Structure 1
Amino acid sequence: MLNVFARSSVSRLTDPIGGWLVRHRVSPNVVTVVGTGCSVLAAVTLFPPGFLLAGTLVVTVFLLFDLLDGAMARARGSGGDFGAVLDAGCDRIADGAVFGALLWWALVTTGDEVRGLALLISLVAAQVISYVKARAEAQGISATAGVAERAERLVVLLVGTGLHGMGVPYVLDVALWGLAAMSVFTVGQRLFGAYRGRRGG
């Protein structure tokens, strides 16, 4: 739900920018790759040493490129089959880098195994959520249900890390374990949706 709501609201800002870039012959695929590369670089350099507030702000800016390349695709009339595959692949890379960098911070920098476990559960579940959807669609089955799609997961995670970086107590632990629970639940929702939508009922 948040994916749809956020994209609808932010598109008022991103659509004019996307149209301008398309008129200047900038490829949406280039924006996708640049946004992903910068997100990964920011995550792996800022999160592990413990710069959670700075990391949250910088990563959030570059993750918004995911909305910008969509606006460019709409301006062109179509993003193309490869563009969709590239976008999905880059989303997984960016998510893996963000969660992996925070996992390093939790386990290596701070030695907090409890936070590390929550991050590990969320990281694995996020990849499974995306894989189940893709595998189901390859079989002609819809499996899009879920309380924690990508936008929801990133909002919960980055709000938690940002507030923790500002010194707000307890919020990160609540965010991480809430995210872990929602992610696991979403895996179950996707699998159940695929089961119900299978051929032959």
Structure 2
Amino acid sequence: MLNIFARASVSRVTDPIGARLVRLGLTPNAVTLLGTAAAIAGALWLFPTGHLLAGTFVVWGFAMFDLLDGAMARALGGGTRYGAVLDATCDRLVDGALFCGITWYLFDIGDRTTAVAALICLVLAQVISYVKARAEASGLDADGGLVERAERLITTLVGAGLTGLGVPYALEVALWLLAAGSVITVGQRLLAVRRSALERTEEKAHELG
């Protein structure tokens, strides 16, 4: 949801940086892989060891590379199909590492109830992305929803960061809210696919008629 409202504003900041990186000889795919590797390493090292605030800043900082590779692709005149697949794949890996790291931390401190919420978020994050990818492969639309990747990262990392600062129940509240929002988003995307399928059917019927 935030992607719709923030994309233009963010692009005004990231596009000049992306153009500069291209002039330095970097490629969008290289930046994607670098950001992904660093974010995964930070998530699986810092969160399980209880360094929640440091983990928040590291994962958020390197997750922002996702904005730069898009800016670089635009500076080059547009991205490639391979680059799009690589970017989406790396996004899923970072999401998985983030929730795995947090789940590991929660089990380590004995908070199994909140760990369940983290596992729910982990699974539904992949399902939300899969619904969109499968719909697009079938020629249908499944955009939007209450919780997309930006909301997922912000909610999780804010909860983790506040917990790292000593705010009680911040991570628990964040994860359960995210789990509920993710369930809603799966439903929203499935309904969007159904509407899109009905529209395609009506279009074909109109053409045949």
TM-score class, shorter-chain normalisation, is: over 0.9
Give the match's secondary structure for 2:139.
coil
Shift of 1:145: 2.5
- Runs of 4+ residues deviating >6 angstroms: none
For residues 120-135 of structure 1, the aligned pairs below 5 Å read 120-135=119-134
Is the 8 Å Cα contact of residues 7 and 67 (structure 1) preserved in structure 2? no
Give the match's secondary structure for 1:142.
coil
Indicate the residue corresponding to 1:94 in structure 2.
Answer: 94
**TM-score normalized by the length of structure 1:** 0.96
Indicate the residue corresponding to 1:185 in structure 2.
Answer: 184
Q: Alignment length, in residue pairs?
A: 200
For residues 112-123 of structure 1, the aligned pairs below 5 Å read 112-123=111-122
The AA in structure 2 aligned to 1:154 is L
Indicate the residue corresponding to 1:58 in structure 2.
Answer: 58
What root-mean-square deviation, in Å, do the aligned CA atoms of Structure 1 and Structure 2 show? 1.1
Indicate the residue corresponding to 2:4 in structure 1.
Answer: 4
Indicate the residue corresponding to 1:20 in structure 2.
Answer: 20
Determine the C-alpha separation between the residues in 1 that align with 2:195 and 2:10: 33
Shift of 1:154: 0.6
Shift of 1:8: 2.5
Shift of 1:17: 1.2
The AA in structure 1 aligned to 2:35 is G
Shift of 1:125: 0.4
The AA in structure 2 aligned to 1:173 is E
Indicate the residue corresponding to 1:83 in structure 2.
Answer: 83
For residues 27-176 of structure 1, the aligned pairs below 5 Å read 27-107=27-107, 109-176=108-175
Indicate the residue corresponding to 1:200 in structure 2.
Answer: 201
Report which of the two structures shows the higher radius of gyration computed on alpha carbons: 2
Determine the C-alpha separation between the residues in 2 that align with 1:57 and 1:5: 24
Determine the C-alpha separation between the residues in 2 that align with 1:7 and 1:38: 24
Shift of 1:9: 2.4
**TM-score normalized by the length of structure 2:** 0.93
Shift of 1:98: 0.5
* 1:63-92, Cα deviation, whole Å (9 max, x unpaired): 000000011011111111100000000000
Give the match's secondary structure for 1:200.
helix
Give the match's secondary structure for 1:197.
helix
Shift of 1:11: 2.3
Structure 2 gap segments, 5+ residues each: 203-209
The AA in structure 1 aligned to 2:201 is G
Shift of 1:25: 2.1
Shift of 1:15: 1.2
Give the match's secondary structure for 1:57.
helix
